[in-house]
Amino acid sequence: MAISRKKDKSPSKPTVTVFDREPPQSIESERAVLGAVFLDPEVFSRVLEIFNNNVENIFYYGPHQIIFEAMFDIYQTTQDKPDLKAVVGYLETKKRLADIGGISYLTELYNSVPTSANINYYANIVLENALKRKIIEICSETIAKTYEAQTPFKELADETEGKIFSVAMQRRINPIYKLGDFVEQFVKDMSDRFESGEVLTGISTGFANLDEKLCGLQSSEMIVLAARPSVGKTAFALNIAHHVAKEGDGVLIFSLEMSKELLLQRLICMEGKIDGQLMRKAFAGKRVIADIVEASGHICNLPIYIDDTPSINIIELRSKARKHLFANPNVKLVIIDYLQLMNVHRRGENRQVEIAEISRQIKGLSRELKIPILTLCQLSREAEKETSEPRLSHLRESGAIEQDADVVLMLYQDKKEEKESKKLKDPITVHLKIAKQRNGPTGIIDFVFHRRHQTFLEMSGFFEKEEESSPDEAYIDEEESAI
């Protein structure tokens, strides 16, 4: 849809004409916002908060947009308030005063508002109309591209959905809180938890030592589980998913590597302690079949949801996750298997840039959905060359993963144990390294991995790094020294 604007000679009574029909707009609300800022420049920060710091094409009437951009430049680049005098001086310097109808129109805006008390109301109307116009623009572009028939449907749908999502995000207002606004509720929640004896603040993984060190999987956190191929990262994630679902919470799994049937097979093996190799054979004894049927009955009603779309892009994943959690609010954990198999909407300069974008989007999604996202990740081949444990620098293709993740877990085997495991030894010893944790200790937990039925069991003990100490242990030491 082509939109054209025709300015009236009298800028105080602007007339906006459009081709086909009038787009959403409210000239009076725009005047009220600008006039309120002139009346009380202190409220400009509130306007920016409502607009989510977006400046481009917020105001429909051209002169109003020029005035608003002048206010923004003054506010951002100088110490002056965006009052009437400052805006006049700015527009004179830029030689744009005539474009907005001169000083007389600015004065008229100043005199048109008796108070700035209602600025939130009018600013929200301005934003609402701006976003509606943006939706019209996006849909018009989509219609044009659809008629051209040069863009594949999937790419066109993903592109449109991504653009509409970005518009929807502009409508979200995240207020800035003063400590006093939420400290009372925080203390109450902490007191209730201590009185109830609740240990975990997050979702239990089913592994006592890991839960103790992480306090469970925390909401709004991106947890990375990294390993070399065939070490057991998918199995470890499924163990966690199985436990979470058994506790009654839903789990959404995006499986880019394995089909839903293979994941189901692993879950059945896990539930019934069934040898996975037997399930792959053409003939299985009656006892095995009976065990499979029994285990299937136990897990068929578990709230585990699987999307096995291969090579899913991050925009599509975010959209699916958002829709699924809206329809299934019982979902408390999302698992992505695995990060390096994902694509971005548009090709980046190189794969590292693309992985960095994917990582950033996953972190943003965890905060948006307010649930933990367990993201599986491959370690680089450099990790195999090392004789000791893997390091954060071994995260494959991007240091952004290390930066974005709140927790980084690494599964690995000792070199000697790895050689022995190639002789089909089962179970095997696998080490889980907490390589990074923003709010807790790092260290190593030992596990026994039964590969035949894909089950992990913790070995007793947790080996903490000497240079690191857990916050609760440090607290105890301080109490003892005080005594």
Each residue's pLDDT tens digit, 47-90: 888 887 788 889 999 999 999 999 998 887 777 788 899 999 99
For residue 97, pLDDT beyond 70: yes
257 among known catalytic residues: yes
Q: Tell me which CATH homologous superfamily contains domain 27-170.
A: DNAb Helicase; Chain A (1.10.860.10)
CATH 1.10.860.10 domain range(s) in the chain: 27-170
Computed over its alpha carbons, how large is the radius of gyration of the chain?
29
Q: Mean pLDDT for the chain?
A: 80
Question: Cα dihedral sign for 190, 193, 198, 202?
Answer: negative
**Other Cβ atoms closer than 10 A to 135:** 15
For residue 185, pLDDT beyond 60: yes
Please give the Cα distance from 469 to 100 (Å, whole number): 63
The confidence score (pLDDT) of residue 337 equals 86
**Other Cβ atoms closer than 10 A to 138:** 18
Does residue 338 have a cis bond before it (omega within 30 degrees)?
Answer: yes
242 confidence band (pLDDT: 50, 70, 90): very high
pTM confidence score: 0.63
CATH 3.40.50.300 domain range(s) in the chain: 201-482
The confidence score (pLDDT) of residue 199 equals 65
CATH architecture, domain 201-482: 3-Layer(aba) Sandwich (3.40)
Q: Which of 299, 413, 315, 407 is nearest to 362 (CA)?
A: 315
For residue 478, pLDDT beyond 70: no
CB 84 within 8 A of CB 39: no
Please give the Cα distance from 50 to 175 (Å, whole number): 9
429 confidence band (pLDDT: 50, 70, 90): confident
Of the candidates 128, 137, 257, 464, the residue annotated as catalytic is 257
**Other Cβ atoms closer than 10 A to 396:** 20
